[in-house]
Chains A and B, each alone.
Chain A
Amino acid sequence: MGSDVKRVWNSLELDTEQRLKSVAHLVKEGKVVAAEDAVALLEGVIRPGDKVCIEGDNQKQADFLAECLCQVDPEKVYDLHMVQSVVSLSTHLDVFEKGVAKKLDYSFSGPQAGRLAEFVRDGKLQLGAIHTYLELFARYFGDLVPRVALVVGYQADKKGNLYTGFNTEETPMIAEAVAFKQGIVVAQVNEVVDELPRVDIPADWVDFVVEAPKPFYIEPLFTRDPGLITDVQVLMAMMALKGVYAEYGVQSLNHGIGFATAAIELLLPTYGEELDLKGKVCSYFALNPHPTLIPAIESGFVKSIHSFGGELGMEKYVQARSDVFFIGPDGTMRSNRANCQVAGLYAMDMFIGGTLQIDKYGNSSTATANRIAGFGGAPNMGCDAKGRRHSSGAWLKCGQEYTVQQGEIGPALTRGKKLVVQMVETFGEKMVPAFVEELDAFKLQENANLDIPPVMIYSDDLTHIITEEGIAYMNRCANLQEKMAAIRAVAGYTEIGLQENPNETKALREKGVVKTPQDLGIDVSKANRSMLAAKNVRDLVEWSGGLYNPPARFRNW
C-alpha cells in the first residue's frame, strides 16, 4: 500500500540483457561463437541456481555442450537445477560430481540408470521427479521453465536460424519455452552454412550458435534385426493380430520398441494378409521410422506415420514415401517428440509394448531395485486419456466391454477406452519371471527415497496382457479378483501362474476373458520364423528397393 519501491516487471529481461552483454566479445559473426569459446560462453550466460536444460533424448544428444558444461568453473557456476528429458551420457551425471549441478528433474535414463541411483543414494544429486516426456515438457511451461537451454541441430546459418530436420524431436518445445520467457538458447550444430534447407527454429529464438568439433551423437535405437526374432515372438505376434488387432479393428496405434512388436510389423504382410486385415487395421501410427515396418508400408497397410524422432538409415526411404510420413517443403521429414506424444495420447486407439515385470494385480514396471531408469513416453502412450471426446470403433468396443466404468458414471452414458496392451513372455532372459508377487519398483522407491514407486502402467489403464500362454482381456473383468485370476491364467510356470485354479481358468475361457492360442484357432506348431515378411536386415533393404541404408553394425552380409 503506497510503497515507494517501484516494482520491476521485466527483471528476467534485464538479467538476460546483462548476461548477453557479458559474453558479447565471444561472438564472431552474427550469433556464431567458436567451439573453443563455448566453455567461457556457458560461464557467462549461466548463473548459480539456474534451471538449465540440456537437450537430448533416446536419440540425438547435445553432447558437445554437455561436455562444455562439465568444464565450467564450479566456483562461478554451481547449484544448477537440471531439467532435461534424459540422463544418458556420462557428462549428464559428471556435472553433479563436479558440483556444477545439484538437482535433477528428468524423464528417462538408459545406460546411466545404475550410476544415477548411486548418486541419489550418496546424496550427490537431489532428485525432483521422474516424469513422462510430455509431463516434463508441460512443466517447461509451468514451474520448471529453463533459464538457459543447450539445444542441438544439424545446421545453422550465421543469423541463428536452425535446421533440425529429420531429428527435430524436442528442440521446438524447449526453444519456445525458453525464448518466450526471456531465457537464453545456445545451439550446437554440425555445421554453420550460408543457406539452410528449411528453418525449423527461427533465429530470434536462438541466442548463440556453436559449430561442434564433431557431429552430434545419435543412436539407432529403433532398429530391430529380424534375424533375432524368435519363434515364440512370432507366436505372440500371431495371437496379438488375431486376438486384438482383428478383434477390435485397431486402426490407429503406437508400437513399443521391442522384438515382439517388430514381429507384429513383419507379420502384417503375411499372417495379416491371410486374416484379410489390410485396410482394417494399422492405418495410422504414432511411431519412429521403424525399419521393420517397411514391408507393411510397401504392402499397402499403412496410410500415415508421425514420428517422435528419426532413425539412422531411414532418411532416404522416408523421404521417398511422402504420402506416409510428415515431410517438409525441403523434402525431408520433420519429427516432433511433443506433437507425436500428443498424437499417441489422444489420437491413437492402442498402445502395445513390453515390460520387465507385471505384478499379480496387473501393474507393470521396468524399474529394478538399483537402477533409476524412468519410462520416457510409455506412460503417456500406455494410458487412457480421460479428456478424449472423439470416438472410433476400437475405442468404443473396448469401452463397451469395460463394464466397470458404469459403476463410476452410471449406466446411461457410452464411453470408450483406449487399448493398452502389454506383451511379455512369462520368463525373460536367464529364466527371470515376468510375473511377480511385488514389483521391484517398491524396492527402488525405498532405495532412492521416492514418494511413489515408479510404475510404468497402472492396472486400471491396462486392458490386455499377451503372453505365449494366451491373452487376458483385462477390460472384460468385473473386478480386481477376476483380473487377478485372468493374470494367473496367462502367467505360465511363474510362481504367479502356478497359483492358477484350473476351474477358474476354464470359466474365464468360457466367458472369453482369457483366450489360449487354441481358443484363437492358432496352431502353435506353425508359429515359426518362416512367417516373417523379412528374415534379416538385408531383406528389409530389398523391400525398400535399396532406399533403406542400415548402420554398419546391422550390415552382416
Chain B
Amino acid sequence: MNFEFKVENPKSIAKDWSHLGVVGSGDMEVLMEKQDLDGAAKVKVVTPVVGFDKVWNMVLEKFVQESSLGDVYLEINDNNATPIVVSLRLRQALAEANKCEVGGVN
C-alpha cells in the first residue's frame, strides 16, 4: 500500500534517517528518511492484514497533519498493529528522528 499526503508549510525531520520499533506480533517498525519530495510525505505500508486501507489512510493522514510532516519517506512494516500502536510508534519515531545528535543524550 502506498499513500501520499501534503500539508501547508511542511517540515522535514532533523536526522537524515531514523528507525524505530520491531515487527513483533501486534507491533510494527517504521523507517523515516529525509527526501526531496516536493513537500509531500510518502508512506509505504507492508502488512499481512487486508481490508483496512481506509483506516490506514485516516491514521496516517491524521499523523501527517498533526506533525506538519513533509519531504519525508516512511516505510512501515506492520504485523497486526492496532491503529493506536501505529500512531504511537509514528509519534515515537518522529521524536527520535528530531533528536539533536549532539545534545540529545538522555
State whether A493 and B83 are in contact (beta carbons under 8 Å apart), knowing that A431-B49, A431-B52 are contacts in the complex.
yes
Residues of B near A425 (CB, < 8 A) are 82, 84
Q: Is the CB of B92 within 8 A of A528?
A: yes
**How far does the alpha carbon of A525 sit from the alpha carbon of B87 in the complex, in Å?**
9
State whether A527 and B83 are in contact (beta carbons under 8 Å apart), knowing that A431-B52, A493-B55 are contacts in the complex.
no
State whether A492 and B83 are in contact (beta carbons under 8 Å apart), knowing that A524-B88, A527-B88 are contacts in the complex.
yes
Write the nearest CB–CB distance from A491 to chain B, whole angstroms. Answer: 11
**How far does the alpha carbon of A431 sit from the alpha carbon of B82 in the complex, in Å?**
6
Q: Is the CB of B84 within 8 A of A232?
A: yes
How many chain B residues have a CB neighbour from A under 8 Å? 17
State whether A493 and B91 are in contact (beta carbons under 8 Å apart), knowing that A430-B80, A431-B49, A431-B52 are contacts in the complex.
no
| A235 CB–B CB distance under 8 Å | yes
A232 CB contact (under 8 Å) in B58, B59, B80, B88: B88
Residues of B near A492 (CB, < 8 A) are 83-84
A window 427-445: CB within 8 A of B: 427, 429-431
Most buried by B among A425, A426, A525, A527: A525
Q: Is the CB of B91 within 8 A of A427?
A: no
**How far does the alpha carbon of A391 sit from the alpha carbon of B30 in the complex, in Å?**
51
**How far does the alpha carbon of A425 sit from the alpha carbon of B94 in the complex, in Å?**
23
Most buried by A among B26, B82, B95: B82
Write the nearest CB–CB distance from B1 to chain A, whole angstroms. Answer: 16
A window 224-245: CB within 8 A of B: 230-232, 235
B window 43-67: CB within 8 A of A: 49, 52, 55, 58-59
State whether A232 and B85 are in contact (beta carbons under 8 Å apart), knowing that A493-B59, A525-B95, A528-B92 are contacts in the complex.
yes
Q: Is the CB of A525 within 8 A of B82?
A: no
Q: Is the CB of B88 within 8 A of A235?
A: yes
State whether A525 and B83 are in contact (beta carbons under 8 Å apart), knowing that A431-B52, A493-B55, A493-B58 are contacts in the complex.
no
Residues of A near B80 (CB, < 8 A) are 430-431
Q: Is the CB of A427 within 8 A of B84?
A: yes
Q: Is the CB of B88 within 8 A of A427?
A: no
Residues of B near A55 (CB, < 8 A) are none
**How far does the alpha carbon of A525 sit from the alpha carbon of B63 in the complex, in Å?**
12
Question: Which B residue's beta carbon lies closest to that of A527?
Answer: B88
A interface residue numbers (CB < 8 A to B):
230-232, 235, 425-427, 429-431, 468-469, 492-493, 524-528
Which 8 pairs of residues, A with B, have the shortest CB-CB distance?
A468-B84, A525-B95, A525-B91, A427-B82, A493-B83, A493-B55, A525-B92, A524-B91
Given contacts A425-B84, A524-B87, A524-B91, 5 further A-B contacts (CB under 8 A): A232-B82, A235-B88, A492-B83, A493-B59, A525-B88
